[in-house]
Structure 1
Amino acid sequence: MKEKLYTLIIICFTMLLTASCGADHYMKKGEKYLALGEYYDAAAEFKTAYNKTSPKDKDKRGERAKKLAGCYDRINSTQKAIAAYRNTIRYNKADIETHLSFARVLMKNGSYKEAAKEFQLVLDSLPDNELAKTGLLSAQTAQAEKEAGSRYIVKKMDVFNSRRADYSPMLFGDEYDQLYFTSTRNEAEGDELSGITGTKAGDIFVSQKDDKGKWGKPEAIVSGLNTEFDEGACCFTPDQSQMYLTQCTTDPNYPRYATIVTSNRSDAAWGKASALEITRDTLSSYAHPAVSPDGQWLYFTSDMPGGKGGYDIWRVRLTSNGLGGVENLGEPVNTPGNEMFPTFRPNGDLYFSSDGHKGLGGLDIYIAKVDKRTKKFVLEHPGYPLNSYGDDFGMTFEGPHNRGYFSSNRGDGRGWDHIYSFEKPEVIQTVKGWVYEMDGYELPDALVYMIGSDGTNLKLNVKGDGSFTQVISPNVDYMMLATCKGFLNHKEELRVKPVTESEEYVLQFPLASIRVPVLIDNIFYDFDKYSLRPESTKALDELIKLLNENPNVTIELSAHCDYKGSAEYNKTLSQKRAEAVVNYLIEHGIAKDRLSPVGYGKEKPKTIRKKLTEKYPWLKEGDVLTEEFIKKLDKDKQEICNQLNRRTEFIVLRITYGMFDENGNLKNPPKAKEQDNGGSEDDGFVIEM
Structure 2
Amino acid sequence: MRLKNHIITSMVLVINMAVFSQSGLQKKADNLFNKFSFVDAAHVYKELISKNYNTDYATRQLSDCYAYMRNPDSAVVYYKKVIEQPNVPNQYYYNYAQALRGVKDYKESRVWLKRYKDEGGEINEANFLKDSDFINSIFNAKPQYFLKDVNFNSKYSDFGAYEKDGSLYFASSRDEGVSSKHIYGWNEEPFLDVYVKATSSKDSIVNNKFKLQGAVNTMYHEGPLTMSKDGKTMYFSRNNFNKQVLGKTDEGITNLKIYKAVLVDGKWTNIEELPFNSNTYSIAHPALNSDETKLYFTSDMPGGIGGTDIYYVDIDSNGYGTPKNLGSTVNTNKNESFPFINNEGNLFLASDGHPGLGLLDVFGTVSDENNNIISVINLGTPVNSSKDDFSFFMSEDGLSGYFASNRDGGVGSDDIYAFDRVPPLKIEGTVTDAETNTPIANATVTLLDSNSNPIATLKTDENGYFDINIDRDTDYYIQVKNDAYLDNTIAITSKGINRSVTSINANIALNPDRSKTPIIAELQTIYFDFDRYAIRKDSTLELDRIVNLMNTTHPDMVIKIESHTDSRGTKKYNDILSEERAKATYDYLINKGIDASRISEYKGFGEQKLTNQCDGTIPCTEAQHQLNRRTQFIVIRME
TM-score (norm: length of structure 1): 0.56
Superposed displacement of residue 93, structure 1: 5.8
Question: Deviations along 1:580-601, whole A, 9 cap, x unmatched?
Answer: xxxxxxxxxxxxxxxxxxxxxx
Equivalence for 1:164: 156
Partner SS state of residue 233, structure 1: strand
Equivalent position of 1:307 in the other structure = 304
SS at the partner of 1:30?
helix
- Structure-2 residue corresponding to 1:226: 217
**Counterpart residue type for residue 265 of structure 1:** L
Question: Which residue of 1 is the match for residue 123 of structure 2?
Answer: 130
Counterpart residue number, 2:190: 200
Query: 2: distance between equivalents of 1:16 and 1:83?
Result: 31
- Is 1:68–2:57 an aligned residue pair? no
Question: 333, 355, 359: which one pairs with 1:358?
Answer: 355
CA contact (8 A) 1:208 1:215 kept: no
Whether the 8 Å CA contact 2:171–2:223 is kept in 1: the answer is: yes
Matching of residues 294-373 of structure 1 within 5 Å: 294-372=291-369
Is residue 129 of structure 2 the alignment partner of residue 103 of structure 1?
no
The 8 Å contact of residues 427 and 500 in structure 1, kept in 2 or not, is answered as: no
1: CA distance, partners of 2:307 / 2:173: 25
Decide whether the 8 Å contact of 2:281 with 2:299 is kept in 1: yes
The aligned residue for residue 34 of structure 1 is 33
- How far did residue 137 of structure 1 move? 4.4
How much has 1:148 moved relative to structure 2? Answer: 0.7
**Shift in Å at residue 272 of structure 1?**
5.8
- The equivalent position to 2:80 in structure 1, one of 71, 81, 86, is 86
- If you compute each CA radius of gyration, which structure gives the higher value, 1 or 2? 2
Distance 1:132 1:233 in 2: 34
- Cα distance in 1 for residues equivalent to 2:55 and 2:411: 24
Partners of 2:67 and 2:222 in 1: CA distance:
22
In structure 2, the partner of 1:426 is 423
Separation (CA, whole Å) in 1 of partners of 2:128 and 2:22: 36
| 8 Å Cα contact 2:73-2:102 kept in structure 1 | no
Q: Distance in 1 between matches of 2:109 and 2:320?
A: 43
Please name the residue that 2:437 is paired with: none
Give the match for residue 254 of structure 1. Answer: 252
Question: Is the alpha carbon distance of 1:119 and 1:375 closer, same or farther for their aligned partners in structure 2, counting shifts above 3 Å?
Answer: closer
C-alpha distance in 1, partners of 2:29/2:346?
43
User: Is the alpha carbon distance of 1:129 and 1:156 closer, same or farther for their aligned partners in structure 2, counting shifts above 3 Å?
Assistant: same
Q: Match of 2:320, SS?
A: strand
Q: CA deviation at 1:144?
A: 1.6
Residues 137-216 of structure 1: matches in 2 within 5 Å?
A: 137-138=130-131, 140-141=132-133, 143-155=135-147, 157-173=149-165, 177-187=166-176, 191-210=181-200, 214=202
Contact 1:295 1:318 in 2 (8 A): yes
Task: Give the Cα–Cα distance (whole angstroms) in 1 for the partners of residues 405 and 342 of structure 2.
Answer: 19
* Aligned AA (1:187): E
Q: How many residues align?
A: 423
For residue 42 of structure 2, give the secondary structure of its aligned residue in structure 1: helix
Q: Secondary structure at the match of 1:325?
A: coil
- Structure 1 residue 500: Cα displacement: 4.2
Structure 1 residue aligned with 2:111: 117
Matching residue's letter, 1:124: D
Give the 3 Å change call, closer, same or farther, for CA 88–426 of structure 1 in structure 2. closer
Counterpart of 1:653 in structure 2 is none
Structure 1 residues 377 and 91, CA gap change in structure 2 (3 angstroms)? closer
Counterparts of 1:34 and 1:503, CA distance in 2:
49
Question: SS in structure 2 opposite 1:226?
Answer: coil
Contact 2:338 2:350 in 1 (8 A): yes
8 Å Cα contact 1:157-1:420 kept in structure 2: yes
**1:501 aligned residue:** 497
Contact 1:184/1:201, CA 8 A, preserved across alignment: yes
Q: How far 1:64 sits from its partner (Å)?
A: 0.8
Number of the residue aligned with 2:46: 47
Return closer, same or farther for 1:222/1:40 CA change in 2, 3 Å cut-off: farther
Match of 1:277 among 275, 279, 288: 275
- What's the offset of the Cα at 1:267? 1.7
Structure 1 counterpart of 2:122, which letter?
N
Q: CA distance change for structure 1 residues 251 and 285 in 2, over 3 Å: closer, same or farther?
A: closer
| 8 Å Cα contact 1:345/1:400 also seen in 2 | no
Q: CA RMSD in A?
A: 3.3
Quote how far apart the aligned CAs of 1:133 are. 6.8
The 2-side partners of 1:110 and 1:145 are apart by 15
Question: What do the CA deviations read for 1:17-36 (whole angstroms, capped 9, x no partner)?
Answer: 55433322221122223333
Offset from partner CA, 1:363-394 (integer Å, 9 cap, x none): 11111132115744433222111111111111
Tell me by how many angstroms 1:251 deviates. 6.6
Give the 3-state SS of the residue equivalent to 1:346 in structure 2. coil
- Give the share of equivalent positions with the same residue, in percent: 27
Amino acid at match of 1:185: R
Task: Output the TM-score relative to the length of structure 2.
Answer: 0.60
- Deviation per CA, 1:138-180: give whole Å up to 9, x if none: 3x2454234314323443644221111111111111xxx2111
2: CA distance, partners of 1:312 / 1:386: 21
Equivalent residue in structure 2 for 1:291, among 288, 309, 322:
288
Distance 1:25 1:109, change over 3 A: same
Q: CA deviation at 1:45?
A: 2.9
Give per-residue Cα distances to partners, 1:35-78, cap 9 Å, x unaligned. 33333333333233333x22xx5xx1001111122222112122
Structure 2 unaligned blocks of 5 or more: 241-245, 426-493, 502-639
Q: 1:512-559: per-residue Cα shift (whole Å, max 9, x none)?
A: xxxxxxxxxxxxxxxxxxxxxxxxxxxxxxxxxxxxxxxxxxxxxxxx
- How far did residue 341 of structure 1 move? 0.5
C-alpha displacement of 1:185: 1.2
Residue equivalent to 2:408: 411
What CA distance in whole angstroms lies between the structure 2 residues aligned with 1:404 and 1:16?
61
The amino acid across from 1:79 in the alignment is D
CA–CA separation in structure 2 for the residues paired with 1:301 and 1:318: 17
Q: Which whole-Å deviations, capped at 9, do the CAs of 1:470-525 have from their partners, x for residues lacking one?
A: xxxxxxxxxxxxxxxxxxxxxxxxxxxx99432899xxxxxxxxxxxxxxxxxxxx
Q: Does structure 2 retain, via aligned residues, the 8 Å contact 1:209–1:216? A: no
Structure-2 change in CA distance of 1:504 and 1:125 (3 Å): closer
Shift of 1:86: 2.2
Taking the aligned partners of 1:141 and 1:17, their CA distance within structure 2 comes to 56
Looking at structure 1, the residues matched to 126 and 9 of structure 2 have their Cα atoms a distance apart, in angstroms, of 54
Per the TM alignment, residue 314 of structure 1 is displaced from its structure 2 partner at its CA by 0.5
Matched residue type, 1:241: K
- The alpha carbon displacement at 1:90 in A equals 3.8
Alpha-carbon shift at residue 235 of structure 1 (Å): 0.9
Q: Is 1:395 equivalent to 2:392 in the alignment?
A: yes
